[in-house]
């Protein structure tokens, strides 16, 4: 029984040693790949800074103005002047469309409301006498635009 246990322990030890050895090689390969990617990122950063400098050089206002003048007949480009700018208040925006009128409540909306009940600050009352009279909605008074109370 001990011999089997010793043999199993030796096999497990050899297996773990092989696994650790393999992990060491995988780690080195991953480190090489990371270093290669970092060099590539550095090269791309240098290329981006070069392209930004070239873009700034090509978009100089004096150069663009000269190009616009040289190609005026073909492109019809004009130089911008301060007269081309305006304040936001000076821009003629189209008028806003008025909001749609609110829908009048239908009889089905008020079917479960009893006379004398209060719904959102509105009291349901009926001034027409009789069993067949429909309830009417009476709203509280409101203020006009000038602050005067409307009936």
pLDDT by residue (tens digit) across 99-109?
887 776 666 66
Whether 69 and 130 map to the same domain: the answer is: no
Whether 66 and 123 map to the same domain: the answer is: no
- Does residue 34 surpass a pLDDT of 80? yes
- 8 contacts: CB under 8 Å, gap ≥ 6: none
Whether 17 and 59 map to the same domain: the answer is: yes
- In this prediction the pTM is 0.42
Whether 66 and 115 map to the same domain: the answer is: no
Return the H-helix or E-strand segment holding 67.
Answer: helix 61-70
Question: What pLDDT was estimated at residue 134?
Answer: 62
Number of domains composing the chain? 2
Question: What pLDDT was estimated at residue 61?
Answer: 87
Task: List the one residue out of 148, 140, 142 whose CA is nearest residue 122.
Answer: 140
Domain around 135: 108-143
- 128 contacts: CB under 8 Å, gap ≥ 6: 134, 136
Average pLDDT over residues 78-96: 79
* Domain annotation covers residue 45: yes
pLDDT tens sequence across 47-59: 999 999 999 999 9
Whether 57 and 8 map to the same domain: the answer is: yes
- The Cβ of residue 113 has, within 10 Å, a number of other Cβ atoms equal to 15
């Amino acid at each position: 029984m001990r011999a089997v246990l010793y043999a199993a322990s030796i096999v497990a030890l050899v297996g773990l040693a092989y696994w650790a050895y393999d992990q060491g090689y995988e780690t080195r390969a991953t480190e090489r790949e990371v270093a290669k990617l970092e060099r590539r990122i550095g090269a791309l950063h240098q290329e981006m800074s070069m392209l930004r400098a070239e873009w700034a050089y090509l978009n100089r206002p004096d150069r663009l103005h000269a190009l616009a003048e040289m190609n005026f007949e073909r492109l019809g480009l004009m130089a911008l002047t301060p007269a081309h700018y305006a304040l936001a208040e000076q821009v003629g925006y189209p008028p806003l469309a008025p909001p749609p009128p609110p829908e009048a409540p239908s009889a089905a909306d008020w079917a479960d409301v009893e006379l004398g009940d209060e719904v959102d600050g509105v009291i349901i009352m009926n001034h027409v006498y009789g069993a067949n009279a429909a309830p009417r909605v009476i709203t509280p008074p409101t203020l006009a635009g000038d602050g005067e109370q409307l009936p």
